[in-house]
Amino acid sequence: MTTVKHFQFGTPIETGAVIRNVPAAGSRIPGWVQDEAQGTLCRDLSEDEIVYGLGESVRGMNKRGWIYESNNSDDPNHTEDKHSLYASQNFFLIFSRQHSYGMFVDTPGKVSFDIGYSKMDQMKISLDDFAANVYTIEGENPTEVIRSFHDLIGKSYIPPKWAFGYGQSRWSYMNEQEVLEVVRSYRDAGIPIDSVYLDIDYMDHYKDFTINNEAFPDFDRFTRQMKEQGIHLVPIIDAGVKIEKGYDVYEEGVEKQYFCQKENGENLVAAVWPGRVHFPDFLDEKTREWFGGKYQWLISQGVDGFWNDMNEPAIFYTEDHLKEVFRKIDLYRDQNLDIRSFFAFKELVDKIDNNPEDYRRFYHHYHGQLVRHDKVHNLYGYYMTMAAGEAFRRYSPDKRILMFSRASYIGMHRYGGVWTGDNKSWWSHLLLSFQQMPGLNMCGFLYSGSDIGGFGADCTEDLMLRWLEMAIMTPLYRNHSAEGTRRQELYRFEHIDWFRNLVNLRYALIPYIYSEFMKAVLSGGMYMMPLSFVYPEDERADRVEDQLIVGESIMLAPVYLQNAVGRSVYLPEDMKLIRFRSCEDYEEEILTAGDHYIPVALNETILFLRKGHVLPMAQPAQDVEQIDYSKLFYLTYEAEPEDYELYNDDGISPVS
Ligand code: GLC
């Protein structure tokens, strides 16, 4: 049993995140000190309370001890000192053995969550505009609270089943030949693969919904040729539309007033990859319908997956701000740049991109009103993805289309998944991306994952192995890297057989992964959980930050330190350790509850099977479609194969 309450204060801007109607129970939230003048909500935290949630954010699973700010930011340096990443997911859960208490602060502007930073035993939420719909959910255990929350916000997005296969991406596949080469190399190496991602270089001068015809002379043919080889091509779509005479998307947008305007009614001129762009006003229904319809052009050429990017929106500069900067820079020309003026000068240029002032320069048509962007900033990526999702339902009612986005807000989880953006090939980011998963799940984002191997910086072979092992059950399983970094396609490394075994294992696990993912979506639950969700009575389990439960049967405990040859693992109950070197070569060992040091070689993946549970597995396959469900085998620990209820479907038809 849970109790859901809705409070409303100020005049909140509607976000569309909550779809179940809960009548407002007033404007004062019991248990919190509300200070309207300061714009804050405060509550004491007892020592045993753990605060989970807030989706994709820095630091650990227990969010205590830092300030997190909901302010979608294009920042590729995901270091501990940051407060905001690309997403704003304002749901958290306060957990103790006595109770579980969830809160969703539904407001599209900036919100800061000081969780025991200013005062270790206090939580303080500050809102830029003190207006919000707040939902509180009280229950006996965290699982119930999460189910109630998911019931409020609606079912999570379901991708096609092939999107659980391995994906290869890199920013800099310049043409058809390069893509062909990647596919051929994977096939030659015998490493399974389902998708190749097309980054901005497939477009003609970074223009959305265009193809560089020299690089991809017959895209339609190419997409279908790839499909015949079991490969789905997944192009990127960026938020900014290039300003260029004769470019149809630009021309139509200007003519029909689909772009965000400044106060004076002119379209805002910002810049991203193609230089000057306009931003579609995704908050306006007619713009969404128009932009969403554009995806159809690529779908008609055989494309069945997309990733939406730069939709915080990322801004290199706005034309207005750039002019100001040039004017100001000139004032420094003949100066002796000293300690003060030098840094002031440097800051002028440093702060040119994603400048907060720029987010105050333009407006949206939202529910019949003109709303300044900063007031609804965190909705932009959500509504871009909604544009696509609504169009997919219109144009592809019988077929699921893959969609995930960089920026997000709760509500977007109904239209697409997320990836965690531009991480780095750092060991700390391997751990971070593991720890981000339960927070994302709580907020409804079940289809998610990080850039495996790291996006920025050079990846080492051991990091790639450990990352693939850590992410072995993460729904999105995509290797992606930035232009200019070391190439990290798996066949380029020394131990190709290790990589082959690992990705084969991933495919062997897909029946379980898909089954548990779907059950979680359909029941409004979570797919990846902290240990405390499953063992709420176990004090030690609550504090474990580097192990997760995946579905009903499995506990994960990845190795995340370089040169480590094993790790300590805490078992809340007796479990069966399964040590895979490949799908055929594995050992099983029963371990008793408590602490264990587990050696794990670089080419080994360890899974822990819970007592009384079953792990269904398939024979490896070169792509998801070829997984043979008639040949499943079952690893069990004090259970029978029949005890496992396998969910399966055709992987393509929409599921309601
Ligand atoms: C952004 C994306 C990244 C992509 C790059 C080029 O940085 O986050 O994934 O590769 O843009 O499009």
How does DSSP classify residue 633? E
> Ligand 1 atom closest to Cα of 199?
12
Give the model confidence (pLDDT) of 67-88 as tens digits: 999 999 999 999 999 999 999 9
**pLDDT average, residue stretch 48-57:** 98
- Number of helices (H), then strands (E), belonging to the chain: the values are 13, 37
> Ligand 1 atom closest to Cα of 170?
10
Q: What's the CA-to-centroid distance between 319 and ligand 1, angstroms? A: 22
Residue 496 near residue 189, CB atoms below 8 Å: yes
Cβ(171) to ligand 1 under 6 A?
Answer: yes
Residue 454 near residue 425, CB atoms below 8 Å: yes
Cβ(421) to ligand 1 under 6 A?
Answer: yes
Q: What's the CA-to-centroid distance between 149 and ligand 1, angstroms? A: 32
Give the model confidence (pLDDT) of 451-471 as tens digits: 999 999 999 999 999 999 999
CA 165 – CA 623 distance, rounded (Å): 7
CA 280 – CA 505 distance, rounded (Å): 42
Q: What's the CA-to-centroid distance between 492 and ligand 1, angstroms? A: 22
Q: What are the beta bridge partners of residue 238?
A: 309
Cβ(422) to ligand 1 under 6 A?
Answer: yes
Q: Which whole-number Å values give the CA distances from 523 to 24, 79, 166, 624, in the listed order?
A: 26, 35, 26, 24
Give the chain's mean pLDDT.
98
Burial class (CB in 10 A: 0-12, 13-18, 19+), 236: buried
pLDDT reading at 316 higher than 90: yes
> Ligand 1 atom closest to Cα of 422?
8
Q: What's the CA-to-centroid distance between 456 and ligand 1, angstroms? A: 10
> Ligand 1 atom closest to Cα of 482?
10
User: Which phi-psi region, left, alpha or beta, contains residue 651 (left: φ > 0; alpha: ψ -120 to 50)?
Assistant: left
The DSSP-derived string for 279-336 is -B-TTSHHHHHHHHHHHHHHHTTT--EEEEESTTT--SEEHHHHHHHHHHHHHTTTS-
CA 89 – CA 56 distance, rounded (Å): 7
Q: Which of 309, 405, 425 to mutate to test the pocket of ligand 1 (most atoms within 8 A of CB)?
A: 309
CA 600 – CA 475 distance, rounded (Å): 23
Residue 593 near residue 535, CB atoms below 8 Å: no
Task: Write down the pLDDT at residue 243.
Answer: 98
Task: Write down the pLDDT at residue 158.
Answer: 98
* Nearest CA, atom 10, ligand 1: 171
Task: Write down the pLDDT at residue 370.
Answer: 97
Helix, strand or coil, per DSSP, at residue 43 = strand
Q: Which residues contact 457 (CB under 8 A, 6 or more apart)?
A: 424, 425, 426, 485
How far does the chain reach from its first CA to its final CA, in angstroms?
25
Residue 446 near residue 517, CB atoms below 8 Å: yes
Q: What's the CA-to-centroid distance between 229 and ligand 1, angstroms? A: 26
Burial class (CB in 10 A: 0-12, 13-18, 19+), 210: middle
Give the model confidence (pLDDT) of 532-575 as tens digits: 999 999 999 999 999 999 999 999 999 999 999 999 999 999 99
Q: For the whole model, what pTM was predicted?
A: 0.98
**Phi/psi of residue 143, nearest 5 degrees:** -60, -45
- Tokens describing residue 161: 């089943």
- Percent of the chain at pLDDT > 90 equals 100
Cβ(199) to ligand 1 under 6 A?
Answer: yes
- Percent of the chain at pLDDT > 70 equals 100
CA 654 – CA 656 distance, rounded (Å): 7
pLDDT reading at 656 higher than 90: no
Give the model confidence (pLDDT) of 214-235 as tens digits: 999 999 999 999 999 999 999 9
CA 445 – CA 451 distance, rounded (Å): 16
**pLDDT average, residue stretch 337-343:** 94
Q: Which of 310, 311, 425, 480 to mutate to test the pocket of ligand 1 (most atoms within 8 A of CB)?
A: 310
Angle between helices 285-299 and 248-255 (to 10 degrees): 160
Helix, strand or coil, per DSSP, at residue 232 = strand
